[in-house]
Amino acid sequence: MPVEYRELSPAKLNLFLKIISKRDDGYHNLRSGMTLVNLCDEVTAKKNSKFKINYIGPFAPENNSFEDCIVEKIFSKFNLVKPNYSFTIKKNIPIQSGLGSASSNAAAVLRILEKLNYEEIKKINFSEIGADVPFFVHGKDSIVRGLGDIIVKQPFPKYHFLIIKPKQNCSTAEMYNQINLDGTNYDLNLDTDEISEHDTGNDFEVIAENKYKEMSSLLKFMRSFPELIFSRLTGSGSCIYSTFESKSNAEQALSIFKKSFPEHWSAVVENNFI
């Protein structure tokens, strides 16, 4: 058995996100188009005397630990024996961003555990680890429905994106608590696996704009670029992205953004890179 394994752990963007209904258990059913982009964390597992998790990179947590570590959750929730490997996770993806880095990290660790012959993971309901984990395990652009557990492969066009991370973080729990479904009348076709005319926008955007002044001004700015296709919040935030057909237009937008908002993290990425 190899002494070292490496897995890329890509970010995702929600090309659209609709909250369909609230379930009796308090969770929400959603519908979203999700695409992988070439902004990646890196997960490396090396043979070691004991199990260990170490974070490095620009978005590594202070004190080398997250309060709610999704990787630890894999082992604790399903009573898995921890392997004698040291997992190093290089955090290149902003956290609390809506880019799915934690769920992507979990999926990368699950792929490594599969290589380590952990037969138990074949029985795991991945959505119990995190709502986006099934999508990242699937590893293909998809229409995602339900709690994130209904996944149908759906190719999306090639895009180039300017992604920006505001200083403001958005709590996923708080954003969901602000969802108001009163008067919502979504077409039943939202339960289909086919793309429909309703598949646009992000239901969290209006909440972010109303709740955070900074988010409102940044969303407005991100919608102002020349050659823009569309601009959107991803997930429940706080990252915002603008979409372009060409890399040169995305890089032009990046230059404009950096001149106006040098204090915010920003990058140009693309989908359909695998």
SS (H, E, C) 207-250: HHHHHCHHHHHHHHHHCCCCCCCEEEECCCCCCEEEEECCHHHH
Predicted confidence at residue 189, as pLDDT, reads 46
With 0-12 CB in 10 A as exposed, 13-18 as middle and 19+ as buried, what is 60? middle
Q: What is the CATH number of the domain that holds 33?
A: 3.30.230.10
Q: Which structure tokens are listed for 107?
A: 């999926």
Predicted confidence at residue 71, as pLDDT, reads 93
Quick one: 114 and 165 in the same domain? no
Quick one: 24 and 139 in the same domain? yes
Predicted confidence at residue 3, as pLDDT, reads 87
How far apart CA 271 and CA 135 sit, in angstroms, is 15
Where among 111, 137, 153 does a domain terminate? 153
Quick one: 130 and 18 in the same domain? yes
Q: pLDDT tens-digit profile of 243-270?
A: 999 999 999 999 999 999 999 999 999 9
Quick one: 96 and 226 in the same domain? no
Residue 191: other Cβ atoms inside 10 A: 13
The kind and range of the H/E element at 170 are none
Amino acid at 258: K
Quick one: 173 and 138 in the same domain? no
Quick one: 164 and 149 in the same domain? no
Q: What is the CATH number of the domain that holds 245?
A: 3.30.70.890
Quick one: 179 and 141 in the same domain? no
Q: Which of 41, 132, 199, 203 is catalytic?
A: 132
Q: pLDDT tens-digit profile of 217-244?
A: 999 999 999 999 999 999 999 999 999 9
Confidence class of residue 24 from pLDDT cuts 50, 70 and 90?
confident
Q: What secondary structure letter does DSSP report for 135? A: H
Quick one: 137 and 166 in the same domain? no
Catalytic residue list contains 18: no
Beta-strand relationship, 52-56 and 85-90: parallel
Amino acid at 94: P
Quick one: 69 and 170 in the same domain? no
Which residue segment(s) compose the domain that 174 sits in?
160-270
Domain count, the chain: 2
Catalytic residue list contains 12: yes
β-strand partners of 41: 9
Compute the average pLDDT of residues 96-122. 97
pLDDT at 86 over 50: yes
223: closest CA among 233, 214, 236, 210?
Answer: 233
Where among 124, 153, 182 does a domain terminate? 153
Task: Please report which residue ranges of the chain form alpha helices under DSSP H.
Answer: 70-77, 101-115, 133-138, 172-177, 205-211, 213-222, 247-260
How far apart CA 43 and CA 151 sit, in angstroms, is 24
* Phi, psi (deg, nearest 5) at residue 158: -70, 125
With 0-12 CB in 10 A as exposed, 13-18 as middle and 19+ as buried, what is 108? buried
pLDDT at 190 over 80: no
Amino acid at 246: S
Where among 153, 170, 199 does a domain terminate? 153
Quick one: 177 and 192 in the same domain? yes
